[in-house]
Amino acid sequence: MTTTFAGIASRATQTDATASVPVENWQELKESGYFGLFHPEHLGGSGADAATQVQAMEALGRACSGTYWTATVSALLCGNLIATYGDERHHHLVRALATGEKLAAFAIVETAAGSDASTYQTLVRRTGGGYTITGEKSRITNAPRADIAVTLARRERAAGDDGPEWCLAFVELDQPGVRRYEIPHMGLRAMPWGGIVYTDAHVDEANVIPVPFTELAEGMTWGWLLVSIAAVATAESALAASVRHASERVSFGRPLAHMEGVHAQLADSRAQIDAARVLALRAATERVAGNSAKDLIGMLKVYATEMAVEVTQRAVQIHGAFGVTEGHEVERHYRDAQMNVVGAFATNRLREQLAENLGLGPAVYRPFDWLTPSAAPESPPKATITTTPSWWIPYAGY
């Protein structure tokens, strides 16, 4: 797949300004086969290899970040979660996402909790005709427009049910008991973002999948990967704009490109972007092959998203006042880059996870009275494991 999504790119400024993905963008994606890249042929996809997937994802991310998030959260993240944890009864859902006929949201975060999953309250209860779900999910990609939501929820367990406390519920959103709302946001403006309120909404019995927390970690990595590639794409676009501007803009009798300081900025950006791209391809190859790539993708997410912020900051500096003018492509890239740092899994929490995997153990909180010297322990307390695994900190994710 070598498309550059030229039509989507030509509409990117307007798409950002109107905060809406045009119908033409969706049609272009369907015709290109983008949605099917992430799934095998028997589920309506093309079974593309990792290199093809990464190339297409970066191309769409460069064309329009908001469109990229909207499409890829649905087809890659939600599609893979349904395919992984569902069974043949859910193949029709995967096919609908793999062809772009339906749009999905990954509903995790709640209004009172971004990072701490132990405080999530959304609950699934068994009824005579299946299940009902009650709760509110907020700051969710595609929430205002999605047809289906892959929703993380607690299960109300009957006596003797020792199965997992948590489940994924595949909730059809066009039904009584579901209300959606939009939330304005700084970057990725075209991406629908908002909340879903469930009030005893119906869920088919087959669409409630008990899943242990430890297994969900692997499913989450698809989200980290798509955000990381979005960051690489945004950085590449910002660098290309900077090179063009530096070549054309004359200041103090010479092009900006002839200034040593600008040289250094462009060279640093080139090296950082290429390093992130190499790591992204390696991580995607492992993940598409079915291997656990959690640590690789975790490192990628930290590096790529923060790298993109640095690159777009340099682009703003190179462009000067143009770079902070509303409607300029660099101003848009700068806003979009910020969203990737906190999206899916905030990098500050992800760093803690990576450090724990070095053998440091989980971070432990212990009340401490700074005014009483005797309160300071002579040796650190032993690490304790809480009911919520330390890797599960999605923040304001999807």
CATH number at residue 117: 2.40.110.10
Residue 349: is its pLDDT beyond 90? no
Q: Which of 45-59, 92-106, 167-181, 258-272 has the lowest mean pLDDT?
A: 258-272
**In a domain? residue 397:** no
CATH of the domain at 301: 1.20.140.10
Q: Does residue 285 carry a pLDDT above 90?
A: yes
Assess whether 88 and 66 both reside in one domain. Answer: yes
- Whole-angstrom distance, CA of residue 379 vs CA of residue 358: 21
Average pLDDT over residues 266-283: 95
393, pLDDT greater than 60: no
Number of domains in the chain: 3
Domain co-membership, 219 together with 318: yes
Residue where a domain stops, chosen among 154, 185, 212: 212
- Do 159 and 275 reside in the same domain of the chain? no
Band of pLDDT at residue 303, cut at 50, 70 and 90: very high
Same domain? For 202 and 295 the reply is: no
Contact 196, 105 (CB under 8 A): yes
As a whole number, the mean pLDDT across the chain is 87
Look at residue 376 and tell me if it is in a domain.
no
Residues 113 and 89 in one domain: no
User: Which pLDDT score is estimated for 369?
Assistant: 66
Final residue before a domain boundary, out of 163, 181, 212: 212
Residue 132 or 352, more confident: 132
Same-domain pairing of 20 and 94: yes
Q: What is the mean pLDDT of the segment spanning 133-149?
A: 96
pTM of the predicted model as reported, rounded to 2 decimal places = 0.87
Whole domain around residue 271: which residue ranges? 214-353
Residues 40 and 124 both lie in one domain: no
Whether residue 188 is predicted with pLDDT greater than 90 in this model: the reply is: yes
| Residue 390 banded pLDDT, cuts 50, 70, 90 | very low
**pLDDT at position 357:** 75
Token readout for 393 is 């900190």
CA distance 201 to 148: 12
Burial 236-252 (b: 16+ CB within 10 A, else e): bbbbebbbebbeeeeee
> Could you give the dihedral angle defined by the CA atoms of residues 14, 56, 89 and 293, in that order, rounded to the nearest 10 degrees?
-120
- pLDDT at residue 385, rounded to an integer: 41
Residues 202, 219 within the same domain: no
Q: What do you get for the CA distance between the two ends of the chain, in Å?
A: 26
Whether residues 340 and 292 share a domain: the answer is yes
Examine the domain organization and report whether 146 and 233 are in the same domain.
Answer: no
Going by DSSP bridges, is the β-strand pair 104-107/148-155 parallel, antiparallel, or unpaired? parallel
Residue 361 lies in a domain: no
Q: Specify the DSSP element, H or E, that contains 303.
A: helix 294-319
Query: Given the structure tokens 């656990």, which residue do they identify?
Result: 292
Checking if the pLDDT of 270 tops 80, the result is: yes
368 lies in a domain?
Answer: no
Is residue 264 domain-resident?
yes
Give the rounded percent of residues in the chain with a pLDDT score beyond 70: 90
pLDDT of residue 351: 78
Q: Is residue 178 part of a domain?
A: yes
Are residues 241 and 330 both part of a single domain?
Answer: yes
184 & 116 share domain: yes
| Domain closes at, from 190, 212, 234 | 212
What whole-number distance in Å separates Cα of residue 55 and Cα of residue 59? 6
Reported as a pLDDT band with limits 50, 70 and 90, residue 348 is confident
